[in-house]
A and B are shown apart, each in its own frame.
Chain A
Amino acid sequence: MKTPDDMLDPEAAGADLPDLSEPSEEELKEAEALRLALEDPSRANEGADLLRALSLAHAPRPLDDAAHRRIVDQALARAAKEREARAKPARGVVVRMAFGAAAALSLAAGAVLFMQTSRSLDGGATQAQIAAPPLVQVRSTAPLFREPFEARGGTSARIDRIAMARAEDLRENRFARWGVR
Chain B
Amino acid sequence: MISALPWPTLLPVVSSADRDVSLEEERLLVARAQAGDRAAVGELLHRHGPGLYRSVLLPRLGSQAAAEDALAETYAKVVERIDRFTWQNVGFYPWLRTVALRVALDQLRARKRVLVWEADDVAREVDAASTATPVEQALSDRRDREASRARVEAALARIHPRYASVIRMRVLEERPREDVARELEVSPATFDVLLHRAVAALKKALTEASPADARSTTPTTKAQGRRSP
Contacts and interface: CB of A to CB of B under 8 A. Distances in A.
Contacts of A161: none
B227 to A, nearest CB: 5
B199 interface: yes
B98 interface: yes
Most buried by A among B85, B161, B190: B190
B105 to A, nearest CB: 12
Q: Size class of B's contact patch?
A: 35 or more
B201 A18 contact: yes
Nearest to A58: B152
A122 interface: no
A24 B53 CA distance: 41
Interface stretch (A113-121, A134-142, A144-152, A173-181): A173-181
Contacts of A50: 62, 113-116, 199, 202-203, 206
B116 A27 contact: no
B13 interface: no
Contacts of B81: 178-179
Tell me the interface secondary structure of chain A in the complex.
Answer: helix
A12 B190 contact: no
A11 B195 contact: no
A31 B195 contact: yes
B49 A68 contact: yes
A11 B229 contact: yes
B50 A63 contact: yes
B68 A178 contact: no
Contacts of A125: none
Contact of A56 (B59, B68, B159, B193): B59
A180 B54 contact: no
B95 interface: yes
Interface stretch (A69-77, A89-97, A101-109): A69-77
Given A9-B229, A50-B114, A58 B54 contact: no
B50 A12 contact: no
B5 interface: yes
Nearest to B116: A57
B227 A34 contact: no
Tell me the interface secondary structure of chain B in the complex.
Answer: helix
A71 B68 contact: yes
Contact of B54 (A55, A62, A74, A78): A62
Nearest to A83: B36
Interface string B170-201: 01101001000000111101101111110111
B54 to A, nearest CB: 5
Interface stretch (B17-25, B40-48, B211-219): B40-48
B63 interface: yes
Interface of B: 1-2, 4-5, 7, 38, 41-42, 45-46, 49-50, 53-55, 58-64, 68, 71-72, 75-81, 84-86, 95, 98-99, 102, 113-117, 130-131, 145, 148-149, 151-152, 155, 159-163, 166-167, 171-172, 174, 177, 184-187, 189-190, 192-197, 199-203, 206, 226-229
Given A49-B115, A54-B202, 14 more contacts: A1-B187, A7-B184, A13-B160, A18-B163, A28-B193, A35-B177, A47-B203, A55-B174, A71-B72, A75-B78, A76-B41, A178-B85, A178-B98, A180-B99
Shortest beta-carbon contacts, A-B, top 9: A53-B62, A75-B75, A9-B229, A31-B196, A179-B81, A79-B79, A47-B199, A59-B4, A31-B192
19 contacts: A1-B187, A1-B190, A6-B186, A7-B194, A11-B227, A12-B160, A15-B227, A27-B197, A55-B4, A56-B63, A59-B4, A71-B75, A72-B42, A73-B42, A75-B78, A76-B42, A82-B80, A171-B131, A178-B85
